Amino acid sequence: MTNFLKKTFARLIKDEKGVTLVEYGIALLVAVGVGTAVMGALSTSVQTKVNQATSALGGNPPTTN
């Protein structure tokens, strides 16, 4: 059994296709994290501007839940 595992791991170390897949996975996770942070910051900014515009027009700003 250990001989099989050694051969399998040796083959995986030589195979670089898996490495590329892992790199794409990490890049995707970073992109999602950055996108989430940017969208969070933008949503706060947009909400502030909508409230300001609503107040300037004499209405009541929308409430958040």
Tell me which residue of 56, 9, 13, 3 sits closest to 48, measured CA to CA: 56
Alpha helices (H) along 1-65: 2-14, 17-56
pLDDT of residue 38: 93
Confidence band of 19 (pLDDT split at 50, 70, 90): low
As a whole number, the mean pLDDT across the chain is 82
Tell me whether residue 64 is exposed, middle or buried, using C-beta atoms within 10 angstroms of its C-beta: 0 to 12, 13 to 18, 19 or more. exposed
For residues 26-47, average pLDDT:
92
Tell me which residue of 61, 65, 38 sits closest to 49, measured CA to CA: 61
pLDDT of residue 7: 82
* pTM of the shown model: 0.50
Compare 32 and 55 and report the one with higher pLDDT: 32
Compare 55 and 17 and report the one with higher pLDDT: 55
